[in-house]
């Protein structure tokens, strides 16, 4: 009885939420869409889509400089998002929130400003085996330019970082530790607090790639004492092509600007330019106003449901999927960390991941296959890639049953 | 047979299938039947890298026509590779260059070519034409 009640509540919760996502109503190849590519990007609720339309049809104007009504309205909505992100991450001040194109852009900003100004030959940067290319390449570029050394925290076969090995990598030469909070390829949630604490003990600055974490884990930047944290709006039910960098004020203040142009200046003469204050110093050019505004709507949407409630639902889906997939012979789950977000990667004996993706697509099931922009991680695991299903607030157990049926069919076809 | 005759034959074959299952079973079967490429040709030079799966393409000229042999690690891509080589192999360089591969659209496989990053199939087609182009310019120089 209790169990039946719980199932009905669960169904009601998801049914209500699904109504907010118009894209989920469609059929793909004649089958109802099952969207399990949420780690790549989440779908957008109609509230977010409406916020974009409202902006363009109601108060599109360039921000910060105009004195007319529309400019003021747009500026105020734009800055409201900055405050909302500051609240979402519990930053001390919204001045510590810099708008970016996304997580990748945020990491590049830190590498090109903090890295440029404060790193020199022989300094060391620590990342981990499970980094997305976005948290590898900017540091490699910096190392090449400055003669710094990149060190990598190894991981276990289950997909957990070897913290003892991390201890051995840390030294007085460590200047930056940049690690992913939740792995996009494996789902592993890293012990980020411990990583930060240990880095600080050596005076290193820390950056957390939170792209995959923000929609599943409550983040408190002050509590974590992280120095920089990067996030993307589109993985959090918000628009694509924008995100935010959180940075401690003391660090942002002493960092040089990166891109030059409008907005980031205080005064320009041909002899010399003085730069604007935080956070505008890092925001050159007309920003992505509409999408920034719509991100606030996305954050409100998440907070109205409750991030903890979303996370609990996703955890339930992850547990159900893990059990279900284990029942398929020849299937091996890749990434079995004790603490995971709702990402499940797997390989199947004798079948290339891409073939699985194609056959599932024919059945209306969208998953991701390949190396997930984590080639070094795939090399560590000795595989060409995985198939990955990742769940969001609107997914259901019935859809997971659909995936299992789809995989049985794929096996029948491909083996 | 000319390129278009082969294409028309493939289109006819695909008309037998009224759902995706039959179509993909056929493609997978083609993939399984395509003999694996001789290891000596699986060189770095012959690799066409997609984001998800590798395609190897080896080309050589014999008796005035160009031969293509190819392979892939993914079976569906291998089936599609089999179709592409069937159409373009043992044809004259000029005919390959001028070929309009309408069969891809007609049999409903255009999606596979659009995903250039994911499977390298479009890159393979481009490479086949590049070989043909290289051969025609060689001919012209002589």
On whether any CB of chain A is under 8 Å from the CB of B141, the answer is no
**How far is B96 from chain A, CA to nearest CA, in Å?**
28
**Peptide linkage before A279 cis (omega within 30 of 0):** yes
Per-residue model confidence as pLDDT tens digits over A264-305:
888 888 888 888 899 999 999 999 999 999 999 999 999 999
* pLDDT band at residue B51 under the 50/70/90 scheme: low
User: Per-residue pLDDT averaged across B70-89, rounded?
Assistant: 93
Interchain CB distance below 8 Å, A369 and B24:
no
β-pairing, A365-366 vs A34-35, is parallel
- Among B51, B75, B77, select the one facing A414 at the smallest CB separation: B75
Residue pair A155/A130 in contact by the 8 Å Cβ criterion = yes
Give the Cα-Cα-Cα angle A29, A35, A37 (nearest 5 degrees): 120
On whether any CB of chain B is under 8 Å from the CB of A47, the answer is no
Which residues of chain B are within 8 Å of residue A378 when distances are taken between CB atoms? Answer: none
- Among A351, A354, A413, select the one facing B119 at the smallest CB separation: A354
Which residues of chain A are within 8 Å of residue B74 when distances are taken between CB atoms? Answer: 352, 354-355
* pLDDT band at residue B142 under the 50/70/90 scheme: very low
Q: In chain A, helix, strand, coil percent, each to 5? A: 45, 20, 35
A 324-353 near B (Cβ less than 8 A): 351-353
pLDDT above 70 (res A1) = no
Interchain CB distance below 8 Å, B51 and A370:
yes
Q: How far is A204 from A185, CA to CA, in rounded Å?
A: 27
pLDDT above 70 (res B139) = no
Q: How far is A28 from B67, CA to CA, in rounded Å?
A: 38
Does the annotation mark B50 as catalytic? no
Question: What does residue A260 show for φ and ψ, rounded to 5 degrees?
Answer: -100, 155
Which residues of chain A are within 8 Å of residue B52 when distances are taken between CB atoms? Answer: 353-354, 357, 369-371, 385
User: Per-residue pLDDT averaged across A166-185, rounded?
Assistant: 98
Mutation for testing the A interface, residue in B53, B77, B111 having most A CBs under 10 Å = B53
**How far is A384 from chain B, CA to nearest CA, in Å?**
8
Per-residue model confidence as pLDDT tens digits over B13-32:
999 998 889 999 999 999 99
The DSSP code for B90 is T
- pTM, two decimals, is 0.93
Per-residue model confidence as pLDDT tens digits over A127-168:
999 999 999 999 999 999 999 999 999 999 999 999 999 999
On whether any CB of chain A is under 8 Å from the CB of B55, the answer is no
Q: How far is A324 from A404, CA to CA, in rounded Å?
A: 7
Task: Report CA Rg, chain B.
Answer: 15
User: Per-residue pLDDT averaged across A71-91, rounded?
Assistant: 97
On whether any CB of chain A is under 8 Å from the CB of B116, the answer is no
Tokens coding A165:
């090995």
Interchain CB distance below 8 Å, B73 and A384:
yes
pLDDT above 90 (res A60) = yes
Q: Give me the interface pTM, i.e. the ipTM.
A: 0.89
pLDDT above 70 (res A334) = yes
Is residue A124 classed exposed, middle or buried when 0-12, 13-18 and 19+ CB atoms within 10 A define those classes? buried
* pLDDT band at residue B123 under the 50/70/90 scheme: confident
pLDDT above 80 (res A391) = yes
β-pairing, A124-128 vs A149-153, is parallel
* pLDDT band at residue A261 under the 50/70/90 scheme: confident
């Amino acid at each position: 009885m209790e169990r039946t009640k719980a199932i009905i509540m669960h169904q009601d919760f998801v049914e209500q939420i699904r109504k907010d996502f118009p894209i989920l109503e469609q059929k793909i190849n004649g089958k109802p869409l099952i969207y399990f590519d949420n780690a790549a990007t989440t779908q957008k609720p109609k509230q977010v889509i409406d916020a974009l339309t409202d902006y363009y049809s109601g108060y599109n104007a360039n921000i910060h400089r105009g004195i007319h009504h529309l400019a003021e309205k747009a500026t105020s909505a734009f800055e409201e998002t900055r405050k909302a992100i500051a609240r979402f991450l519990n930053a001390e001040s919204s001045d510590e929130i810099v708008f970016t194109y996304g997580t990748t852009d945020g990491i590049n900003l830190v590498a090109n400003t903090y890295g440029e100004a404060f790193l020199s030959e022989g300094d060391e940067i620590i990342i981990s085996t499970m980094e997305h290319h976005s948290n590898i390449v900017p540091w490699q570029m910096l190392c090449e330019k400055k003669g710094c050394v990149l060190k990598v925290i190894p991981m276990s076969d289950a997909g957990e970082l070897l913290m003892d090995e991390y201890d051995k990598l840390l030294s007085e030469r460590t200047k930056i530790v940049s690690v992913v909070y939740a792995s996009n390829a494996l789902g592993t949630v890293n012990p980020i607090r411990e990583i930060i604490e240990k880095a600080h003990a050596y005076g290193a600055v820390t950056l957390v790639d939170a792209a995959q974490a923000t929609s599943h884990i409550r983040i408190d930047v002050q509590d974590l004492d992280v120095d920089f944290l990067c996030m993307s709006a589109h993985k959090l039910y918000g628009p694509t092509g924008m995100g935010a960098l959180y940075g401690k004020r003391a660090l942002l203040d002493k960092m040089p600007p990166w891109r030059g142009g409008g907005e980031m200046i205080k005064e320009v003469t041909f002899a010399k330019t003085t730069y604007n204050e935080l956070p505008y110093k890092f925001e050159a050019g007309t920003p992505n106003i509409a999408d920034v505004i719509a991100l606030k709507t996305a954050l409100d949407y998440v907070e109205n449901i409750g991030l903890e409630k979303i996370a609990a639902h996703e955890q339930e889906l992850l547990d159900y999927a893990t059990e279900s997939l284990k029942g398929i012979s020849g299937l091996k789950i890749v990434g079995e960390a004790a603490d995971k977000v709702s990402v499940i990667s797997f390989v199947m004996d004798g079948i290339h991941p891409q073939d699985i993706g194609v056959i599932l697509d024919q059945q209306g099931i969208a998953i991701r296959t390949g190396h997930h922009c984590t080639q070094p991680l795939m090399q560590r695991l000795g595989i060409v890639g995985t198939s990955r299903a990742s769940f969001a607030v609107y997914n259901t157990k019935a859809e997971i049953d659909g995936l299992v049926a789809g995989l049985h069919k794929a096996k029948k076809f491909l083996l | 047979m000319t390129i278009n005759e082969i294409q028309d034959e493939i289109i006819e074959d695909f008309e037998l299938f009224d759902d995706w299952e039959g179509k993909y079973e056929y493609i997978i079967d083609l993939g399984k039947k395509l003999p694996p490429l001789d290891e000596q040709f699986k060189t770095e030079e012959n690799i066409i890298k997609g984001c998800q799966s590798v395609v190897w393409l080896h080309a050589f000229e014999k008796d005035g026509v160009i031969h293509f042999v190819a392979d892939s690690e993914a079976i569906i891509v291998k089936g599609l590779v089999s179709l592409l080589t069937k159409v373009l192999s043992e044809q004259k360089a000029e005919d390959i260059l001028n070929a309009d591969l309408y069969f891809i659209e007609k049999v409903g496989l255009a999606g596979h070519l659009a995903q250039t990053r994911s499977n390298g199939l479009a890159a393979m087609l481009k490479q086949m034409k590049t070989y043909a182009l290289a051969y025609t310019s060689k001919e012209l120089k002589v």
